[in-house]
Structure 1
């Protein structure tokens, strides 16, 4: 690799290093590191901070502030494949790992002592460079530079519905950042100016017993965002190893949760199944949700609610239903003999005082425990009990809830390296439950994009707003796909109804938004509304089924190439500045563009079509993109969507 150093301002001083003979260290106000591919890292002192700017393909891709703790002055040492910056009390190494005309990968690293803190801050240039990726979150904006975080521990957690917190961000200029899982990472975004700061410190919820901290991250730079994303999948995000279940794609899941909440019995399930049959809807499976156990963690049906569960499941199967069951990783105190057995055998997550007490939404404070999936013996115990439940109750598979790190006791003591705390909780849980087959669904993930299972959004609310409502169905879909999770289950049509059931209009618009996503899940049902709604829902449920082959092709591309199943519309033209800012449209593969109505009371919407020749099945028209379709007519029975024609 050929590179050069270009001095931009006067040299301040020259010294000889005592640790490396004949090595000269210079102090600079500014310098450039240039590779043979014309990749440039420019380092400057700006406003009392050291800032590095990355340029490739003749343009600036991103600027990063090294933070006050690094100091305003620096020196540098050249290495065989990069350089080291020497700051006030730490060094930052830049190592060129891969460099070609099409792509450059840089590994950035520094070592901190246990009481040190550090922060590298990316400039968010409003209106010029858009950012994607980051966490799945309650307020799911897209692009993500609109979000705000302050001293925010970056782990999957209950707060803000962060079920997935992959350490990956991608910008519209073709640059990505991937931060190592071992880094005790906190976010500060839009706190002091338009910056996304990756802050590192030895504090909870991470394990604070390590003596040093390796602050490691990777910078990737491609010709555009699409090419950079593909390299990120190849190098870091992983591809799924197989396609998810076809029947879960083709036909709806019917869940008891939103409609019945915990008020379920054998009779409720029978009635629900009969209604589905009566109104002529197909099924992927019928899912029995919360409050079927003797006590939470027993994994045993309560006979007062389900007097003969095997007879019920056998009957449902004869009628064409698969049966799945809601499961969680907790055991409440007093749920014996299971709680006592797990505690005695060391199968529960404990803190450093060996106390397993924790809390979840179906327990009192400190009245539950979290099974320790970092303990292989605990995993086997849990899996064996689930296998027994499957066999005895006639269950086909499971909906696994929770899995986030925050359900554990504070400062958990895990069976893994200190650097893996607490992310190992989520990783091991999801991998353990994925063994139960292709119709498994989970709601959390951490480095588990390779698993061929469905990942559902954490519960959406029955609202029209970006406060976890209908618009976030699309933005969450885009976010999850860009961090590598394409086999998405968008949860309940109409939301979960925690503040009351969805209105008829919201229910229909929610279904329409869901049509070109991988799977449909009903809980509230069309026949709770009008005959007109029943017919509209049947129409769009059938439309989704008609595109099963298209969805499965997208699944296959995800397995083969790591392609997103539902990309943003800029995937077709990553240089289209309009498309880069669109948050209410999405693609299925590369051929279908969906533009659902997501605003209350509207019977039209503005639609942007990127480059390509687009056929409109609703109006039987063809358009050449890029083009805006202003005030496109979309009454309640119309879903605007377009089919890209071959050139």
Structure 2
């Protein structure tokens, strides 16, 4: 056999790697560990750099304050130099920019402005507007960069009490306790929208830290409030040209901030209303209705009862339906004649006078109305800008070609149809209060009615709500937001400087009384507990002349309030600008409550009304509220920021009523460190800046203190 040939080493296939020396597993582990350590170190360095990077970067700085960007929270902070914490924190875009750095300033050449965008949706413009005096103010304005951009800024309530904005069905003080869904920032009719805002409303918010937020009336706005968390301002969804603009100011404390901003709330110089109404308790007639004869008999019986109980002074207020019935009776020819000449606006059909009525009057029968039926009381009538679609008033306007006096919808070029809404259960048209001709027509009609009935005062209802927004329509120019309420208030001021309206917006300078929302006859914030928060809010927003809900509450069925509730309600209303009654004391209470009512009315006339008149001078000159929160004298004491069951009249009287059922004692905060307060019941004197624990107040007493130093 031939010798064996040595075989060369076999070569691996080209797709297989060449064989190597035997592997050592520990070397691979070391390599993996090295890679892991490298990544850990890299992440650590990046995290350390991020942690060490400044959390805040200045947007703008003024002489005493400034705005800084808080990267982690995505918020702009209003800071006052030397202060330990921010005065306000504003989460831009509702916090969507959290974690993002401050964008480059596109306005850097101008040292007084900042312009920047955190995304491609909108750009923020900030400018220092005011840096002298008691406040330093900055304007913030969002400019959309994309169609349909959502603009929403939210203000934190963490460790800050906020006040202002608007009232709600169950009033609270401060705003932190309110919950409200995002909705148009307009005065609502609580009958149609119980979760809405009203009856007073201004784009003004005040923080206990001394910050203020002001939104101009021409800025369309949605407002939402999340209890104890935040409130948000946002542009209305679907707006063709969304814009969100507001003014952010810093002051030394909450009272200084209110003094600065309150002076600027009124659009024009303030004019006080006729203060004679302060001394006239209002008695709302709730007797028999229907025909004029029944109303006349009911009024005479009611007035006789008041006189018999020595309550003969005051104002007798007729509701809208009673006003309409009497107006129909005193004007022969019925509503058609009223429409041609003058008279009220009615929401219900009016009875037409008949030829037989005229013959009875010519034979010497008693006229349908005599002012002597209510003497010596003064009479007040109630009007509204509504007219039922079934009323002769509305139908005659269509026949006479006067349909233009109503709010309308444009159906085609050159043609329009009245915009209809619900008013007191009826489908009705609403007067166009922005039309000079329509306003003059209403004023002339109201003037003739007052002369015919001998009425010295009038109330104008129906300013609440934006009929266009409620029906998903775009309001015309002049009726954006609360433009209608402002226009109707201007009309109301021409009826007399003691006219009562039911809504206040953009009208705090007018000589009017605003009637606050009806409350339930119970002890909740929708009832008795809501009286003081509603009064404080109304005054804070500039509406110091208001009529609180009638004693005992009016938002209820026919059952009268219980006696204890009636007394505690009476004690609070005694120290507010105007006293009003819907349920007379003899209808619900014992004889001693009737005596107490007389005493309270006398105390209001002799003690409270002069104080209101005195401090109205501060309101006219500087916009200071007349009914003031306790922090007005203790602006840096956190204990004063959440007190909603005490109030001041000016600087010299403190009222601390009982608001809990069955209680005859309470804790009382005396504001003003260094002041002395004297109890008007016991003549005891106490130091300000202290709390009186378990202070006694029987059912017949209300704790009232007068500042003596």
Task: Give the TM-score range, shorter chain.
Answer: 0.7 to 0.9
SS of residue in 2 equivalent to 1:116: coil
SS of residue in 1 equivalent to 2:492: helix
C-alpha distance 262-117 of structure 1, shift in aligned 2 (>3 A): farther
C-alpha distance 239-230 of structure 1, shift in aligned 2 (>3 A): farther
Residue among 467, 470, 475 paired with 2:528: 470
* Aligned: 1:488 with 2:551: no
Alignment of 1:581-620 (within 5 A): 581-611=642-672, 612-620=675-683
Given that 1:352 and 1:413 are in contact with CA atoms closer than 8 Å, whether structure 2 keeps it comes out as no
* Aligned: 1:42 with 2:77: no
Alignment of 1:88-127 (within 5 A): 88-89=119-120, 90-100=122-132, 102-112=134-144, 115-125=148-158
SS of residue in 1 equivalent to 2:568: helix
- Aligned counterpart, 1:224: 253
- Aligned counterpart, 1:640: 703
After superposition, the C-alpha distances for 1:214-272 in whole angstroms (9 at most, x for unaligned) are 32111111111111111112233457623222221113111114x66889711111111
C-alpha distance 70-428 of structure 1, shift in aligned 2 (>3 A): farther
My pick for the range that moved more, 350-359 or 547-556, is: 350-359
- Aligned counterpart, 2:300: 270
- State how far apart, in whole Å, the 2-side matches of 1:360 and 1:572 are: 45
Residue among 150, 156, 166 paired with 1:135: 166
- Aligned counterpart, 1:540: 600
- State how far apart, in whole Å, the 2-side matches of 1:235 and 1:525 are: 41
Given that 1:351 and 1:411 are in contact with CA atoms closer than 8 Å, whether structure 2 keeps it comes out as no
Give the RMSD, CA atoms, in angstroms. Answer: 2.9
Residue among 267, 275, 285 paired with 2:315: 285
C-alpha distance 553-311 of structure 1, shift in aligned 2 (>3 A): farther
- Aligned counterpart, 1:393: 453
- State how far apart, in whole Å, the 2-side matches of 1:382 and 1:322 are: 22
- State how far apart, in whole Å, the 1-side matches of 2:392 and 2:97 are: 55
- State how far apart, in whole Å, the 1-side matches of 2:505 and 2:48 are: 47
After superposition, the C-alpha distances for 1:440-494 in whole angstroms (9 at most, x for unaligned) are 001102111101211110112211101x200100000011111111001103111
Q: How far is the alpha carbon of 1:163 from its aligned partner? A: 1.9
Residue among 248, 264, 272 paired with 1:235: 264
SS of residue in 2 equivalent to 1:291: helix
Residue among 623, 628, 640 paired with 2:691: 628
- State how far apart, in whole Å, the 1-side matches of 2:565 and 2:169 are: 19
Unaligned residue ranges in structure 1 (runs of 5+):
1-8, 13-26
- State how far apart, in whole Å, the 2-side matches of 1:42 and 1:615 are: 46
C-alpha distance 29-642 of structure 1, shift in aligned 2 (>3 A): closer
Q: How far is the alpha carbon of 1:518 from its aligned partner? A: 0.4
Residue among 180, 184, 208 paired with 2:220: 184
- State how far apart, in whole Å, the 2-side matches of 1:171 and 1:260 are: 48
More strand by share: 1
C-alpha distance 626-44 of structure 1, shift in aligned 2 (>3 A): closer
- State how far apart, in whole Å, the 1-side matches of 2:573 and 2:230 are: 33
My pick for the range that moved more, 143-152 or 334-343, is: 334-343
- Aligned counterpart, 1:22: none
Given that 1:132 and 1:142 are in contact with CA atoms closer than 8 Å, whether structure 2 keeps it comes out as yes
- Aligned counterpart, 1:19: none
- State how far apart, in whole Å, the 2-side matches of 1:638 and 1:303 are: 53
SS of residue in 2 equivalent to 1:505: helix
C-alpha distance 452-344 of structure 1, shift in aligned 2 (>3 A): closer
C-alpha distance 155-261 of structure 1, shift in aligned 2 (>3 A): farther
- State how far apart, in whole Å, the 2-side matches of 1:309 and 1:221 are: 67
After superposition, the C-alpha distances for 1:352-385 in whole angstroms (9 at most, x for unaligned) are 5444343334234xx2111111222211121121
Given that 1:613 and 1:624 are in contact with CA atoms closer than 8 Å, whether structure 2 keeps it comes out as yes
Given that 1:266 and 1:309 are in contact with CA atoms closer than 8 Å, whether structure 2 keeps it comes out as no
- State how far apart, in whole Å, the 1-side matches of 2:304 and 2:625 are: 37
C-alpha distance 618-281 of structure 1, shift in aligned 2 (>3 A): same
Given that 1:185 and 1:200 are in contact with CA atoms closer than 8 Å, whether structure 2 keeps it comes out as yes
* Aligned: 1:560 with 2:621: yes
- State how far apart, in whole Å, the 1-side matches of 2:149 and 2:234 are: 11
- Aligned counterpart, 1:527: 586
Q: How far is the alpha carbon of 1:80 from its aligned partner? A: 4.2
C-alpha distance 337-454 of structure 1, shift in aligned 2 (>3 A): closer
Given that 2:384 and 2:462 are in contact with CA atoms closer than 8 Å, whether structure 1 keeps it comes out as yes
- State how far apart, in whole Å, the 2-side matches of 1:94 and 1:10 are: 32
Given that 1:351 and 1:412 are in contact with CA atoms closer than 8 Å, whether structure 2 keeps it comes out as no
Given that 1:69 and 1:118 are in contact with CA atoms closer than 8 Å, whether structure 2 keeps it comes out as no
- State how far apart, in whole Å, the 2-side matches of 1:10 and 1:459 are: 59
Tell me the TM-score normalized by structure 2. Answer: 0.80
Given that 1:515 and 1:541 are in contact with CA atoms closer than 8 Å, whether structure 2 keeps it comes out as yes
SS of residue in 2 equivalent to 1:111: strand
Residue among 152, 156, 169 paired with 2:187: 156
Tell me which structure has the larger Cα radius of gyration. Answer: 2
Q: How far is the alpha carbon of 1:595 from its aligned partner? A: 0.7
Residue among 79, 82, 89 paired with 1:58: 82
Q: How far is the alpha carbon of 1:397 from its aligned partner? A: 2.3
- State how far apart, in whole Å, the 2-side matches of 1:324 and 1:441 are: 10
Unaligned residue ranges in structure 2 (runs of 5+):
1-46, 326-334, 336-345
C-alpha distance 519-143 of structure 1, shift in aligned 2 (>3 A): same
C-alpha distance 153-309 of structure 1, shift in aligned 2 (>3 A): farther
After superposition, the C-alpha distances for 1:583-631 in whole angstroms (9 at most, x for unaligned) are 1000111111111111111122221111221111111211111221222
Q: How far is the alpha carbon of 1:543 from its aligned partner? A: 1.1
SS of residue in 2 equivalent to 1:392: helix
Q: How far is the alpha carbon of 1:407 from its aligned partner? A: 4.5
* Aligned: 1:373 with 2:409: no
- State how far apart, in whole Å, the 1-side matches of 2:290 and 2:534 are: 27
Q: How far is the alpha carbon of 1:111 from its aligned partner? A: 2.4
Q: How far is the alpha carbon of 1:195 from its aligned partner? A: 1.7
After superposition, the C-alpha distances for 1:264-291 in whole angstroms (9 at most, x for unaligned) are 7111111111111111124331111132
- Aligned counterpart, 1:3: none
My pick for the range that moved more, 602-611 or 474-483, is: 602-611
- Aligned counterpart, 2:104: 75
SS of residue in 2 equivalent to 1:405: coil
- State how far apart, in whole Å, the 2-side matches of 1:546 and 1:134 are: 34
